[in-house]
């Protein structure tokens, strides 16, 4: 069992779809997978990881540590469906991340929403130096 899922290769039983519904149209790309997995768990259904590999694909291009040369470029990349990728994290489009953090975050959701974007603010400071 696991907490949520990434939707590259997923089998969802009809009984789960009848309880949870489909992917939320608020999400354009993979954050919708995480949201769906969390909603499945919230509805008392389970998420399981299959053993081993179920498929393979080519390696994604390497991402730089900065991922953008300045704040404007960072904001432009972040607004695209795949977000702004760093080597260790991805900043999701702000509206999608807002919807995602509001659901489980309760009254503290603005803090959860803002935390990942600290790196973009730091990038802006560094680009000015």
Structural domain boundaries in the chain: 1-57, 59-129
H or E element: which one contains 85?
Answer: strand 84-85
The model's pTM is 0.78
Residue 44, pLDDT score: 96
H helices of 66-108, where? 71-78, 94-105
pLDDT in the model for residue 12: 94
Q: Is the dihedral of CA 67, 85, 71, 123 positive or negative?
A: negative
Sequential pLDDT tens for the chain (129 residues): 999 998 888 899 999 999 999 999 999 888 899 999 999 999 999 999 988 888 888 887 666 555 666 677 777 877 887 777 776 677 888 889 899 999 888 899 999 888 888 877 777 776 666
> What pLDDT score was predicted for residue 69?
66
Give me the pLDDT at residue 129, please.
Answer: 63
At 112 the three-state DSSP class reads helix
Distance from C-alpha of 23 to C-alpha of 32, rounded to nearest angstrom: 6
pLDDT for res 28: 87
pLDDT at residue 24, rounded to an integer:
94
Specify whether the CB–CB gap between 43 and 59 falls below 8 A. no
> How far apart are the C-alpha atoms of 117 and 111, rounded to whole Å?
11
Q: What's residue 128's pLDDT?
A: 66
Buried/exposed 48-64: b ≥16 CB within 10 Å, e otherwise: eeeeeeeeeeeeeeeee
Q: What is the C-alpha radius of gyration for the chain, rounded to an integer number of angstroms?
A: 17
Residue with tokens 């400071």: 125
């Amino acid at each position: 069992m696991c907490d949520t899922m990434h939707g590259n290769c997923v089998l969802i039983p009809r009984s789960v779809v009848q309880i949870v519904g489909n992917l939320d149209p608020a999400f354009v790309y993979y954050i919708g997978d995480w949201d769906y997995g969390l909603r499945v768990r919230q509805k008392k259904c389970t998420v399981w990881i299959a053993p081993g590999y179920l498929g393979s694909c080519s390696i994604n291009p390497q991402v730089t540590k900065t991922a953008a040369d300045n704040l404007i470029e960072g904001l432009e990349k972040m607004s695209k469906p795949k977000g702004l990728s760093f080597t260790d994290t991805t900043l999701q489009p702000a509206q999608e991340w807002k919807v995602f953090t509001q659901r489980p975050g309760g009254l503290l959701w603005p803090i959860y929403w803002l935390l990942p974007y600290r790196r973009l603010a730091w990038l802006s400071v560094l680009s000015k130096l």
